[in-house]
Amino acid sequence: MTDSNSTSTKAATDAKAFHGEYPRIVVAPPGPKARAIIDQDAEYSSTSYIKEYPLAVSHGEGPVIEDVDGNRYLDFMAGIAVASTGYSHPAVVEAVREAAGRFFHICGTDFYYQTMASLCERLAKMGPGSSKKRVFLSNSGAEAVDGAIKLVRNSTGRTDLIAFQGAFHGRTYGGMSLTSSKAKQRATFGPMIPGVHHVPYPDPYRLETGGREVGAFVLDQIQALFSRHLYPKDVAAIFVEPLLGEGGYVIPPTSFIEGLRALCDEHGILLVFDEIQTGVGRTGQMWAADYFGVEPDVLLTAKGLGSGMPIGAIIARESIMRWSSGSHGSTFGGNPVGCAAALATLDVVEGGLLDNVREMGELMMTGLKRLQEKHTCIGDVRGMGLYIGVEFVKDRATKEPASELVGQLGQLAFTKGLLLLSCGESVIRIAPPLVIDADDVKTGLRIIDECITELTAGVGK
Ligand X SMILES: Cc1ncc(COP(=O)(O)O)c(C=O)c1O
Sort strands 378-384 and 387-392 into parallel, antiparallel or unpaired.
Answer: antiparallel
Query: Which span (33-41, 127-135, 165-173, 285-293) binds ligand X, by CB under 6 A?
Result: 165-173
Of the residues 60, 62, 166, 170, which one makes contact with ligand X according to CB under 6 A? 170
Which residues 6+ apart lie within 8 Å of 412 measured at CB?
451, 454, 455
Of the residues 17, 34, 92, 142, which one makes contact with ligand X according to CB under 6 A? 142
Of the pair 170, 232, the CB lying nearest ligand X is at 170
Of the residues 74, 77, 145, 263, which one makes contact with ligand X according to CB under 6 A? 145
> Quick check: 394 binds ligand X (CB under 6 A)?
no
Query: Which span (64-72, 149-157, 164-172, 184-192) binds ligand X, by CB under 6 A?
Result: 164-172
Instruction: Determine whether 48 is exposed, middle or buried from the number of CB atoms within 10 Å of its CB (0-12, 13-18, 19+).
Output: exposed
For residues 175, 280, 381 and 164, what is the CA-based torsion angle, rounded to 10 degrees? Answer: 20
CB of 381 to ligand X, least distance (A): 20
> Quick check: 339 binds ligand X (CB under 6 A)?
no
> Quick check: 241 binds ligand X (CB under 6 A)?
yes
Judged by CB under 6 A, the chain residues 294 through 323 that form the site for ligand X are 302
Of the residues 128, 166, 245, 424, which one makes contact with ligand X according to CB under 6 A? 245
> Quick check: 164 binds ligand X (CB under 6 A)?
no
Instruction: Count residues binding ligand X (CB under 6 A).
Output: 16
Of the pair 24, 150, the CB lying nearest ligand X is at 150
> Quick check: 146 binds ligand X (CB under 6 A)?
no
CA distance 416 to 363: 22
> Quick check: 250 binds ligand X (CB under 6 A)?
no
Instruction: Determine whether 407 is exposed, middle or buried from the number of CB atoms within 10 Å of its CB (0-12, 13-18, 19+).
Output: middle
- Asked if the peptide bond before residue 23 counts as cis, ω within 30 degrees of 0, the response is yes
Of the pair 61, 203, the CB lying nearest ligand X is at 203
Query: Which span (38-46, 219-227, 241-249, 396-404) binds ligand X, by CB under 6 A?
Result: 241-249
CB 384 within 8 A of CB 291: yes
Of the pair 108, 175, the CB lying nearest ligand X is at 175
CB 286 within 8 A of CB 324: no
CB 339 within 8 A of CB 112: no
Q: What's the gap between Cα 435 and its chain centre?
A: 16
> Quick check: 276 binds ligand X (CB under 6 A)?
yes
Query: Which span (137-145, 157-165, 217-225, 387-395) binds ligand X, by CB under 6 A?
Result: 137-145
Of the pair 23, 338, the CB lying nearest ligand X is at 338
The long-range contacts involving 97-103, CB below 8 angstroms and separated by at least 24 positions, are: 98/340, 99/336, 99/337, 99/339, 99/340, 99/341, 100/337, 102/336, 103/336
CA distance 410 to 110: 45
> Quick check: 76 binds ligand X (CB under 6 A)?
no
Site for ligand X, rule CB under 6 A: 80, 140-142, 145, 168-170, 175, 241, 245-246, 274, 276-277, 302
